[in-house]
Structure 1
Amino acid sequence: MQQNPFESVFKIGVTTEIGRLRKLLVHSPDSGLGKVVPSKAQDWLFEDIVHLDTIRKDEYDYYTKLLMYFLDPEKIKGKLAEIDSVEANRGFYKPNHPNFHNSENVVELQNLLADILADEYIRKKLTAAVCAIEGCTYKLQLKLTATDPKELAEIFISGTMADDTMIFAPVPNLIFTRDVGTTINSHILLNKPAKKARVRETMLMRYIFFNHPFFAAYQDNVIEIPDPTQHFLRPGDEPEFRTTLEGGDVMMVSKNHVLIGVSERTSEEGANEAIKLLFENDVVEKVTVVKIPAKRDYMHLDTVFTQVKRDTWVILHSIAHSPAYDATEPIHFLKEPEKLEATTAIQFHKNKPGEPKYYEHVEALLDDISRNDLGSTTPTKIIYSGGNVFPYDSREQWTDSCNLLALKEGVVLGYDRNDRTVEAFKASNFNVVKVQDLIQDLESGKVDADTLTDTLVLMPSAELSRARGGFHCMSLPILRDEIL
Structure 2
Amino acid sequence: MENQHHIHVSSEVGILKRLLIHSPDEGIGKVIPTKAQDWLFEDIIHVDTMRKKEYDLYLKILLYFLDYEKIHSQINTIDLPESQRHFYKPDKENYFESDKVIEPQRLLAHLLESKDLKQRMIASICAHEGTAYSLQAELMELDNSVLARVMISGILPDKRMIFPPIPNFIFTRDIGITVNDHILLNKPKKKARTRESIIMKYIFFNHPMFKEYTSNIIEINDPEDFFLLDEDEQEKKIVTIEGGDVMMVAPNHLLVGVSERTSIHAASKVIQLMHERDIVEKVTIVKIPAKRAYMHIDTTFTQVKRNMWVIFGSFSKEGLKQEKGDYISSLGGSKSENEIEILQYIKGRSYDDPIQFDYLEDLLNDISVTDLKSEEKTKFIYSGDNEFPHGRREQWTDSCNVLALKEGVVIGYDRNDKTSKGFQKQGIKVVKAAELLDKFKNEELHPSEVKDTLILLPSAELSRARGGSHCMSMPLLRTPLW
Under a length normalisation based on structure 1, what TM-score does the superposition of the two structures give?
0.96
The answer to whether 1:389 aligns with 2:387 is: yes
Taking the TM superposition and a 5 Å limit, the aligned residue runs for 1:361-400 are: 361-400=359-398
CA distance in 1, matches of 2:36, 2:454: 32
CA distance in 2, matches of 1:78, 1:116: 29
> Which residue identity is paired with 1:348?
Y
Superposed CA deviations along residues 356-384 of structure 1, whole A, max 9, x for unmatched, are 10001011000000001001001100000
Shift of 1:326: 9.3
Q: 1:183 — aligned with what?
A: 178
> Which residue identity is paired with 1:68?
L
The SS at the match of 1:192 is coil
- The answer (yes or no) to whether the contact 1:327–1:333 under 8 Å persists in 2 is no
CA distance in 1, matches of 2:27, 2:34: 15
2:229 to 229, 234, 241: 234
> Which residue identity is paired with 2:350?
P
Q: 1:278 — aligned with what?
A: 274
Q: 1:32 — aligned with what?
A: 27
- The answer (yes or no) to whether the contact 1:78–1:443 under 8 Å persists in 2 is no
- The answer (yes or no) to whether the contact 2:91–2:149 under 8 Å persists in 1 is no
- The answer (yes or no) to whether the contact 1:291–1:344 under 8 Å persists in 2 is yes
Shift of 1:188: 0.2
Q: 1:208 — aligned with what?
A: 203
- The answer (yes or no) to whether the contact 1:234–1:241 under 8 Å persists in 2 is no
CA distance in 1, matches of 2:245, 2:91: 32
Contiguous gaps of at least 5 residues in structure 2:
none
- The answer (yes or no) to whether the contact 1:326–1:333 under 8 Å persists in 2 is no
Shift of 1:309: 0.2
CA distance in 1, matches of 2:278, 2:444: 45
CA distance in 1, matches of 2:265, 2:327: 34
> Which residue identity is paired with 2:393?
R
Q: 1:63 — aligned with what?
A: 58
Q: 1:125 — aligned with what?
A: 120
With over 3 angstroms needed to count, the CA separation of the structure-2 counterparts of 1:328 and 1:193, relative to structure 1, is: closer
Shift of 1:444: 2.1
Shift of 1:82: 2.4
Shift of 1:442: 1.3
The answer to whether 1:289 aligns with 2:285 is: yes
Shift of 1:340: 3.9
Q: 2:332 — aligned with what?
A: 335
Q: 1:3 — aligned with what?
A: none
- The answer (yes or no) to whether the contact 1:75–1:101 under 8 Å persists in 2 is no
CA distance in 1, matches of 2:273, 2:321: 33
- The answer (yes or no) to whether the contact 2:311–2:380 under 8 Å persists in 1 is yes
Q: 1:459 — aligned with what?
A: 457
Q: 1:136 — aligned with what?
A: 131
The answer to whether 1:298 aligns with 2:258 is: no
Taking the TM superposition and a 5 Å limit, the aligned residue runs for 1:396-407 are: 396-407=394-405
Q: 2:109 — aligned with what?
A: 114
CA distance in 1, matches of 2:332, 2:19: 44
- The answer (yes or no) to whether the contact 1:84–1:90 under 8 Å persists in 2 is no
Shift of 1:8: 5.8
Shift of 1:196: 0.6
Shift of 1:324: 5.2
Q: 1:419 — aligned with what?
A: 417
With over 3 angstroms needed to count, the CA separation of the structure-2 counterparts of 1:327 and 1:396, relative to structure 1, is: closer
Taking the TM superposition and a 5 Å limit, the aligned residue runs for 1:248-267 are: 248-267=244-263
Of stretches 182-191 and 271-280 in structure 1, the one that deviates more from structure 2 is: 271-280
- The answer (yes or no) to whether the contact 1:112–1:212 under 8 Å persists in 2 is yes
1:79 to 74, 80, 92: 74
> Which residue identity is paired with 1:400?
D
Shift of 1:457: 0.3
The SS at the match of 1:9 is coil
The answer to whether 1:345 aligns with 2:342 is: yes
The answer to whether 1:152 aligns with 2:153 is: no
Superposed CA deviations along residues 85-114 of structure 1, whole A, max 9, x for unmatched, are 253543222211222111000000000111
> Which residue identity is paired with 1:32?
G
The SS at the match of 2:127 is helix
Number of aligned residues: 479
CA distance in 2, matches of 1:446, 1:280: 51
Shift of 1:328: 8.3
Under a length normalisation based on structure 2, what TM-score does the superposition of the two structures give?
0.96
2:243 to 243, 247, 264: 247
Shift of 1:270: 0.8
CA distance in 1, matches of 2:9, 2:370: 19
Contiguous gaps of at least 5 residues in structure 1:
1-5
CA distance in 2, matches of 1:23, 1:89: 23
> Which residue identity is paired with 2:214?
Q
- The answer (yes or no) to whether the contact 1:315–1:383 under 8 Å persists in 2 is yes
The SS at the match of 1:353 is coil
Superposed CA deviations along residues 226-277 of structure 1, whole A, max 9, x for unmatched, are 1112000111165312111100000000001000000000010010111111
2:5 to 6, 10, 15: 10
Of stretches 236-245 and 187-196 in structure 1, the one that deviates more from structure 2 is: 236-245
- The answer (yes or no) to whether the contact 2:259–2:288 under 8 Å persists in 1 is yes
The SS at the match of 1:308 is strand
> Which residue identity is paired with 1:406?
A
CA distance in 2, matches of 1:239, 1:319: 27
CA distance in 2, matches of 1:125, 1:479: 30
CA distance in 2, matches of 1:455, 1:361: 27
CA distance in 2, matches of 1:410, 1:327: 34
Shift of 1:335: 3.5
- The answer (yes or no) to whether the contact 1:61–1:90 under 8 Å persists in 2 is no
Q: 2:86 — aligned with what?
A: 91
